[in-house]
Amino acid sequence: MRNGVCVAGRRVVSVASGLAIGVVFLLSGCASQAELPPQVSRNLVDLRDHVVRGKAQVQTTCNAARDLVQRPQADVQPQVDRLLREIEAMRAQAVNSRQQYANAQDEAKAYFAKWDQEMAGMSESMARAGQERRAESMASLESLKSRVAELKAEVAPFLTTLEEVGRYLKLDPTASGVSATKPKVEAVVDREKVIMKKADAVITQIDAMRGGK
């Protein structure tokens, strides 16, 4: 239908969308921590919990690894078994966290698509304000995406190396086997502090997006 109201509405949304795109590009140059609507931010609660649990699992796994290579007992089998359990738990935690993040992304995408549609039926001033807020919120999501990617870039090789160590120790669960893996284990667990820092950055971003101080 081509009446004045509808055409004007489409024109307003087109202009506002252009402004919004500009805001996104301006904000994407630095970390954005704009508060998100609760319909979006509440979906990040589970992701935050996964990151917190992931931090704890990384620490537990590193403790088990250090205990094995720095304080091996006469019978190393119990220590090896403990490390293998923690590596498997960390792997499962990583899989769950990736799925939770994917779910949060899908839900946010659907919500912002609806937001864009709703702006089409509003006045010029309201549509402009709405599109600017939408752009700010999307910029925050991009900041979260960047921080999650940085965390993943640290965790992925960390876990891959530990899984390789675990496979070897299954073949050679002896003091000599532990000695053979020691250099690699010590090198990888030295990355613990970096992983903690990256995880904290994700948590801080989520808290800001949820309106936290």
Give tens-digit pLDDT for 54-65.
Answer: 999 999 999 999
The matching CATH number, chosen from 2.60.40, 1.20.120, 1.10.10, 3.30.390, for 33-118+141-209 is: 1.20.120
Q: Break the chain into its structural domains and give their ranges.
A: 33-118+141-209
pLDDT for the residue 4: 41
Cα–Cα distance between 2 and 63 in angstroms, integer? 68
C-alpha angle with apex 99: 139 to 82, nearest 5 degrees?
125
Q: For residue 115, which of 10, 40, 206, 32 has the smallest C-alpha distance?
A: 40
Query: To the nearest whole number, what is the mean pLDDT of the chain?
Result: 82
Largest CA distance in the chain: 86
**What number is the average pLDDT over the span 141-165?**
94
pLDDT for the residue 163: 96
Locate tokens 């004007």: which residue?
Answer: 8
pLDDT digits (tens, 9 = 90+) for 81-99: 999 999 999 999 998 888 8
- The pTM assigned to this predicted structure is 0.76
**Is 154 in contact with 194 (CB distance < 8 Å)?**
yes
What is the DSSP secondary structure assignment for residue 42, as one 8-state letter?
G
